[in-house]
Amino acid sequence: MQFPEYRPRRLRKNANFRRMVCETRLTVDNLIYPLFVVTGKKVKKPIPSMPGNFQMSVDNIVLEAQRLKELGIPAVILFGIPDKKDEVASQALIDKGVVQTAIREIKAKAPDILVITDVCVCEYTSHGHCGIIEKGEVANDVTLEALSEMAVSHAKAGADMVAPSAMMDGQVGAIREGLDEAGFETLPVMGYSAKYASCFYGPFREAAQSAPAFGDRRGYQMDPANSDEAIREITLDVQEGADIIMVKPALPYLDVIRRAKEEFDLPLAAYNVSGEFAMIKAAAAMGWLDGERAMMESLTAIKRAGADMIITYFAPEAAEFLRRTGRGLNP
């Protein structure tokens, strides 16, 4: 096809043409909303670097889940912030832990929302690392035991899915084995399969109070320069029994999302992380770009790259936009 016989602008000249030939459609069904659960009652503490997001006590988490249900958002993912932290993340494993309590309350009062839980100890340890420390190092295999126990405790509380994010070798297999032995053979696992050591997690670490007290996480999270390694990591999760695979962050790693979509026949999630969210919010606040359009363009790009579901702090805003307009990007 060549000009002048072929003129691509013919199918762009009005909104209806553009709607008819649209190749990527973002819907509310693609969205998962992260929630930060804290102890106490009637707590709704704003997160300064993430406008519109809050640390919330369980009573307010339930109200938020009910609001999300009305918006049509199918799922939330819970991150817990305990009132006490220690070296071995003991608060992550107890029956009355903050996440376990939130799961039970959401399932009782907003049962149609899927509850996914983050399985990692970084929010629960006094040192902020994603594993148990032994001899000054994150001990992989000891951490697997804690992750498995944590996942089972979430399952017993009523979680619909668990999502291990610690980037410990063998974490999906250990959790799958633990769930199966506890009688939760049907509970799916979403693996944080390719999780990069990214600077874009900064606002999240404020929200989850999980910044490392020493060192960094490059010893277990992935090098941002590596793509082939991501495929090896995802392959391991698939072999260990992951039901859904994930790439995190999303926007700086669209090429990895595309590769994962092409190479694996499993549902694919992408995490549109806190720094990606914060950049758009900050630029919009300064009047440097249209925040709503930037939101939708970013989410559409993630979907176009191959993500079947997107974990995003934009979820309620995007759902409201889709309800108002009936479509994704303005035609």
The catalytic position among 13, 69, 96, 248 is 248
Q: Which of 263, 202, 185, 252 is nearest to 223 (CA)?
A: 252
Which pLDDT belongs to residue 207?
64
Q: For a pLDDT cut of 90, what percent of the chain falls above it? A: 81
Enter the pTM of the model: 0.94
Tell whether 122 is covered by a domain. yes
Average pLDDT over residues 219-247: 96
The catalytic position among 195, 261, 281, 303 is 195
Average pLDDT over residues 72-94: 91
Q: If you write DSSP's letter for every residue of 26-52 in order, what string do you get?
A: --GGGEEEEEEEESSSS-EEE-TTSTT
Instruction: Tell me which of 219 and 204 has the higher pLDDT.
Output: 219
Strands 133-134 and 137-138: antiparallel
The enclosing domain of 138 has a CATH number of 3.20.20.70
Q: Encode pLDDT of 269-279 as tens digits.
A: 999 999 999 99
| Residues β-bridged to residue 117 | 78, 162
Q: How far is CA 144 from the centre of its chain?
A: 20
Tell whether 11 is covered by a domain. no
Q: 294 falls in which pLDDT band (50, 70, 90)?
A: very high
Look at the chain and report how many structural domains it folds into. 1
Q: Which residues contact 229 (CB under 8 A, 6 or more apart)?
A: 222, 223
- 195 as an active site residue: the answer is yes
Q: Encode pLDDT of 11-30 as tens digits.
A: 999 988 998 999 999 999 99
Q: Is the distance from CB of 282 to CB of 274 less than 8 angstroms?
A: no
Instruction: Tell me which of 265 and 215 has the higher pLDDT.
Output: 265
| Angle, alpha carbons 268-258-236 (nearest 5°) | 55
215 pLDDT more than 60 = no
Which pLDDT belongs to residue 329?
57
The mean pLDDT of the chain is: 93
What range defines the domain where residue 58 resides?
23-325
Q: 43 falls in which pLDDT band (50, 70, 90)?
A: very high
| Residues β-bridged to residue 37 | 56, 80
Which pLDDT belongs to residue 90?
85
- 248 as an active site residue: the answer is yes
| Residues β-bridged to residue 119 | 164
Separation in Å, CA 121 to CA 112, 137, 157, 228 = 27, 15, 18, 27
Tell whether 106 is covered by a domain. yes
Average pLDDT over residues 199-214: 71
Q: Is the distance from CB of 89 to CB of 127 less than 8 angstroms?
A: no
80 three-class SS:
strand
Tell whether 88 is covered by a domain. yes
237 pLDDT more than 90 = yes
Q: At what angle do helices 98-109 and 140-157 cross, to 10 degrees?
A: 30
Tell whether 191 is covered by a domain. yes
132 pLDDT more than 90 = no
Tell whether 14 is covered by a domain. no
Average pLDDT over residues 120-147: 88
Separation in Å, CA 223 to CA 50, 194, 197 = 25, 10, 6
| Angle, alpha carbons 223-229-235 (nearest 5°) | 135
Q: Which of 234, 45, 233, 201 is nearest to 123 (CA)?
A: 201
Q: How far is CA 132 from the centre of its chain?
A: 22
Q: 240 falls in which pLDDT band (50, 70, 90)?
A: very high
Tell whether 12 is covered by a domain. no
Cα–Cα distance, 112 to 108 (Å, whole number): 10
Tell whether 15 is covered by a domain. no
Which pLDDT belongs to residue 326?
76
